[in-house]
Amino acid sequence: MRRDYFTCVFLACIAGALAFVCFEPLYFKYEITVPREFGLFESIASCCYLVFFLVALPIYAGYKKKYWIAVGLACYGALIYLPKLFYPSQFLLTGEDASLFHMLIAMILRGIYGMMNAPFAALSGIWGDDVASHFAYLILPCSILFPFFIRLYRFYRDAYVAEQLDPASVVAAPSSSKFDRKIHRPHREEKKPEVLGTVISAPVRKEPQASQPQVEAPPEKPQVEAPPVKPKMDAPEKSPALEGKDEQVIPLPGPKPAEEVIQLGAPRPTHESQAKPQIRQPRIDPSGFKSEE
């Protein structure tokens, strides 16, 4: 993903510069200037290009910590220095020492110089040729200095806020360890590290499962409840006083005869007396009245 930032910004700068090459002829060429008139559309586009690539994009890269954007912009800004550093001398281009290789390199470097200065050609009508021709040399410094100053500002701001929140800890225990910085530094959302390169997740296809023959489950057997188990009674514990003595059987006497049994209370009637109840007959007096005893 980070390399994508670098390549996208680098190629976007080149594409934007090539769009200004369409306004022919090129105003700035290597060591010469071709005067021409600039239209309103070209002037507005040059101002937008200047603000976006020299100010807005470096500030955005430093504020969002997208340093790969600043790297791509810096690599594009470094192209303008190639003609000054590697352009062949006139002795290698004309005369006896001229070669096709040096002429090819000179043609490529002249094309790079014209492409880099083409977006700023319309600004020559506002600030002049000398100022407009040096805007291309400011792309590399701006892409480095803006993120650097933003990072430096954040460092001093965090130190100031930490001192205001807890001045005693900052003065008494200044430490540069990661643990102390995490304590005294104000909380900000920590961003997860980005993945290098482009991550493309391919769709996952589910393989068709092979149809398996359905096997019928065997019939369940009826559960038979087991009879309850009676708990076993523990044998009575022997007292320690009887330990060591043999068990003795005490014989019980048999039942006594009826004559020797002493009966308490009234005697029970016998079987014969219970057979027929006795009826008492009244007596008749000679006087003719019944009398009962």
The Cα 52–Cα 75 span in angstroms is 16
> How confident is the model at residue 94, as a pLDDT?
79
Is residue 125 domain-resident? yes
Number of domains in the chain: 1
pLDDT for position 230: 62
- Judge whether 38 lies within some domain: yes
pLDDT in the model for residue 95: 72
Q: Residue 179: its pLDDT value, please?
A: 47
Query: Does residue 196 sit within a domain?
Result: no
Q: Per residue in 128-147, is it b (16+ CB within 10 Å) or e — as a string?
A: eeeebbebbebbbebbbebb
* Domain-embedded: residue 82: yes
pLDDT at position 221 is: 64
**pLDDT score recorded for residue 39:** 87
The reply to whether 164 falls in a domain is no
Q: How far apart are CA 116 and CA 283, in angstroms?
A: 170
Residue 222 lies in a domain: no
Yes or no: say if 75 and 5 are a contact pair by the CB < 8 Å rule. no
Which residues contact residue 292 at a Cβ distance below 8 angstroms, ignoring those fewer than 6 apart? 282, 283
Q: Is 284 helix (H, G, I), strand (E, B) or coil?
A: strand
* Positions in the chain whose pLDDT score sits under 50: 179, 182-184, 272-273, 275, 290-293
CB 247 within 8 A of CB 235: no
CA dihedral sign of residues 153, 159, 162, 164: negative
Is residue 15 in some structural domain? yes
Long-range contacts of 60-69 (CB under 8 A, 24+ apart): 61/143, 61/146, 61/147, 62/146, 62/147, 62/148, 62/149, 62/150, 62/151, 63/150, 65/191, 66/5, 67/147, 68/2, 68/3, 68/5, 68/6, 68/9, 69/5, 69/6, 69/9
Question: Domain containing 135: what range?
Answer: 2-149
Task: Give the pLDDT confidence score for residue 151 in this predicted structure.
Answer: 93
Domain contains 26: yes
> Tell me, what's the pLDDT at 247?
57
* Side-chain-facing half-sphere of 185: CA atoms under 13 Å: 15
